[in-house]
Amino acid sequence: MSGFYKAANALNSHARRNARPSPLPDHEVAMPGKSRTTSPKQIVAAIFAGLIGLASPALAQTTAAADAVYMAGAERVHVGGLMRETAQRIAVASCFHDAGIETAVYAGQITQGIADYDSYLVALTEGDAAYGIDTAEETRKLVSTIYSVTSQWDRFKEAALGRLNGEGPTDGTDYVSRHNLNMMHTSKYLLREIIAEYAIPPALLQSDAFTLDILTRQPALANQISKEACGLITGNTVMGSTSRYVKSVDRFDASMGALINGFAGLGVSAPPTAEVRAALEDIAADWAVLKTRLDQVAGSNDVALALDIDRQFAAINAKFAALIPAYVTASKAGI
């Protein structure tokens, strides 16, 4: 794909500088490192597992319950990815809504996005069988991180609801416009913490977790590109800048190549089945068509172009939503 190796090498270089989660905005997101060194937690888990046969039935039962918690690791990664995606969906809708474009449609998307994000926080905190998470989060560090995300989310949600009540920006740089990338970054950082906690073989291999991370990032990047296209076309310079737009397009393009072909250096596995590969290639074909529209954004003030881009991305994201469960299932194949 155009620019794939150039962008991928840039991502690989960035990954080496950011092997641990770091508070970067998502337009400067660090790709996960490729280290597979056994952690102290994994060593202890292995030793503990070896002692189960000598333990009491009550202890074995407790261990089984703990194992069940970690079996939902892939599902938690998926929900973390949905949070990242939804933060940018609200920003896209806000950009169109502020510009007076199909306001009823995009007001509905803001409302739905808020309800969705709230449900994701509940699922990660308390568990929700609808998302495949049957237990509440008990890890102190993750509980604390979720609380921090919730605090920032409450402020962002208040601002998003305000614009629906006629409290839109007076200077074009309201809270939603200024902080949507920070909101996506906060969701991204939570996702890194989830991976650090739950990527423990055999329940969830690091390679599977990293691949899910990149896969679920694509819909978020799609929304980010759509938001930036809207900003550039409507003159909302806070929502969209040329440099950020170009980086987002290149990152989406490079990640499509990594998902289809695998990229061991970045911890991205090849598609788990021929059917999944075919589905990714179908998305890549849609992406190739859409890129011709994206190339027309520079210098344009065509609202119809912005709407067409957003609708094509919506179709691509629907295909990603249908594909992600196959990766969640594949992550459990070796258990």
**pLDDT tens digit sequence for 283-304:** 999 999 999 999 999 999 999 9
Structure confidence at residue 71 (pLDDT)? 75
Regions of the chain with pLDDT less than 70: 1-70, 168-173, 334-335
Residues written for the chain: 335
d(CA 27, CA 185): 8
Please check whether residue 269 is in contact with residue 199, taking contact to mean a CB–CB distance below 8 angstroms.
Answer: no
Indicate the average pLDDT of the chain.
81
d(CA 84, CA 216): 8
Structure confidence at residue 184 (pLDDT)? 81
Sequence-distant (6+) residues with CB within 8 A of 209 are: 32, 73, 74, 77, 195, 198, 199, 331
Structure confidence at residue 68 (pLDDT)? 54
Q: What is the largest CA-CA distance in the chain?
A: 71
Query: How many CB atoms neighbour CB 332 within 10 A?
Result: 15
C-alpha distances in Å from residue 93, one per residue of 97, 160, 163, 231: 6, 10, 11, 11
Structure confidence at residue 43 (pLDDT)? 40
Structure confidence at residue 308 (pLDDT)? 98
Structure confidence at residue 334 (pLDDT)? 64
Quick one: which of 246, 271, 252 has its CA closest to 317? 252
Task: Please report the sign of the dihedral spanned by the C-alpha atoms of residue 13, residue 17, residue 19, residue 24.
Answer: negative
Quick one: which of 81, 41, 71, 34 has its CA closest to 207? 34
Say whether 121 sits in a helix, a strand or coil: helix
Structure confidence at residue 95 (pLDDT)? 92
Q: What is the dihedral of CA 112, 317, 239, 288, to 10 degrees?
A: -160
Structure confidence at residue 50 (pLDDT)? 42
Structure confidence at residue 178 (pLDDT)? 79
d(CA 30, CA 192): 10
> What percent of the chain shows pLDDT beyond 70?
76
Please check whether residue 308 is in contact with residue 289, taking contact to mean a CB–CB distance below 8 angstroms.
Answer: no
| Residue 318, both tokens | 């629907």
d(CA 183, CA 160): 12
Give the pTM: 0.78
Residue with tokens 């794939």: 4
| Residue 311, both tokens | 């609708």
